């Protein structure tokens, strides 16, 4: 007999990274599912790499549930430039947050990991059972392994202390409020920005990393938020769970599609001196469907169109503000 879902309205919920890309959408989904007391933790107020700050968080807010989304993230370039920082800050945040959750008697700890934790040559579609069958792709390994330790810690605490810690593995996300910073963005916002800037400058080409052959799977951020909140309410196992859309597209085809949707008609040139990253990524999504009824519902082209629309509206606002400042 299945347990009834957690009544979010009766719980104090701490949401780390709640002001970030995924966090904004998870917050909205929590509220839509009846949550009445959600505390959004932002780095400006709480530096979660500092133990005293973590201790204060639990003392001040006394949560029943912690949903841990906060992370230091970036694309291939950012991972190559910051392997030590990405490992240390992600690792120390997770270790301290879960340890103080245990000390504070938190009812449930939801950790959101990364697809970068999977071995480089995982058979497609990636099954959760293959998570330990090799070393992650090297450019993302420090980040992927740091987040993977949240799974190990949660399973260890479940075994020794009976802690209800769950671990979710979302695939590459995209959608409104994504990070479009050229220094740290992931592939979809990076390509959208490249096309936008090329159109603005009148360039006849854009340059992309690698040879375009790797494949990736992408999950619309609102779908992911539904998955995170659904698991928070319904999933209580220590086994990791993929959150994905169950399809893959090559980076070359992705670039062509984004250029079409953006209205960029120039050449797409591939810089083969740059790394490709992991050869293929596509998840098995059966466990999430069976365990808590999660399936992605946003068609990829529709999701990209909504992302581009949001980006353009944001750019228009920035342009208007910049013009007013100049005046």
> What does the alpha-carbon distance between residue 23 and residue 229 come to, in Å, rounded to a whole number?
11
Report domain extents, the chain: 8-326
Q: Is the pTM of this model over 0.85?
A: yes
C-alpha torsion sign, points 186, 188, 191, 195: negative
Continuous segment of H or E residues that includes residue 216? strand 215-216
All residues at 6 or more sequence positions from 26 whose CB lies less than 8 Å from its CB, including other chains: 15, 18, 67, 69, 225, 228, 229
| Residue of 118, 143, 157, 235 marked active site | 143
Answer yes or no: CATH 3.40.50.720 is held by domain 8-326: yes
Using left for φ > 0, alpha for ψ between -120 and 50, and beta otherwise, residue 288 falls in alpha
> What does the alpha-carbon distance between residue 307 and residue 135 come to, in Å, rounded to a whole number?
33
Q: Each residue's pLDDT tens digit in the chain (327 positions)? A: 567 899 999 999 999 999 999 999 999 999 999 999 999 999 889 999 999 999 999 999 999 999 999 988 776 777 788 889 999 999 999 999 999 999 999 999 999 999 989 998 899 999 999 999 999 988 889 999 999 999 999 999 999 999 999 999 999 999 999 988 887 788 999 999 999 999 999 999 999 989 999 999 999 999 999 999 999 999 999 999 999 999 999 999 999 999 999 999 999 999 999 888 888 889 999 999 999 999 999 999 999 999 999 999 988 666 554 544 454
- For this structure, is 100 an active site residue? no
The CA angle 283-166-180, to the nearest 5 degrees, is: 55
pLDDT at 280 (0 to 100): 86
């Amino acid at each position: 007999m299945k347990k009834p879902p957690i009544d979010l309205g009766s719980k104090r919920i701490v949401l780390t990274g709640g002001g970030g890309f995924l966090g904004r959408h998870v917050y909205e989904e929590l509220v839509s599912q009846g949550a009445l007391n959600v505390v959004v933790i932002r780095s400006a107020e709480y530096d979660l790499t500092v133990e005293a700050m973590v201790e204060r968080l639990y003392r001040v807010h006394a949560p029943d549930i912690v949903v841990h989304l906060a992370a230091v993230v970036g694309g291939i370039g950012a991972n190559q430039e910051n392997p030590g920082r990405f490992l240390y800050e992600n690792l120390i945040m997770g270790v301290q947050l879960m340890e103080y959750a245990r000390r504070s008697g938190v009812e449930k700890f939801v950790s959101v990991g990364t697809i970068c934790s999977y071995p480089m040559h995982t058979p497609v579609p990636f099954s959760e059972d293959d998570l330990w069958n090799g070393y992650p792709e090297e450019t993302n390994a420090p980040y992927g392994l740091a987040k993977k330790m949240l799974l190990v810690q949660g399973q260890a605490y479940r075994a020794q202390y009976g802690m209800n810690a769950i671990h979710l593995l979302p695939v590459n996300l995209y959608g409104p409020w994504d990070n479009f910073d050229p220094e740290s963005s992931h592939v979809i916002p990076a390509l959208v920005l490249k096309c936008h800037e090329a159109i603005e400058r009148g360039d006849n080409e854009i340059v992309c990393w690698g040879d375009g052959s790797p494949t990736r799977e992408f999950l619309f951020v609102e779908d992911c938020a539904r998955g995170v909140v659904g698991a928070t309410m319904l999933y209580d196992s220590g086994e990791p769970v993929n959150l994905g859309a169950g399809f893959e597209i090559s980076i070359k085809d992705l670039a062509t599609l984004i250029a079409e949707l953006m209205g960029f008609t120039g050449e797409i040139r591939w810089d083969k001196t740059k790394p490709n990253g992991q050869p293929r990524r596509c998840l098995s999504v059966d466990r999430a469907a069976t365990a808590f009824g999660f399936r992605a519902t946003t068609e990829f082209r529709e999701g990209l169109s909504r992302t581009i629309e949001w980006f353009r509206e944001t750019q228009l606002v920035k342009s208007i503000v910049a013009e007013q400042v100049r005046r």
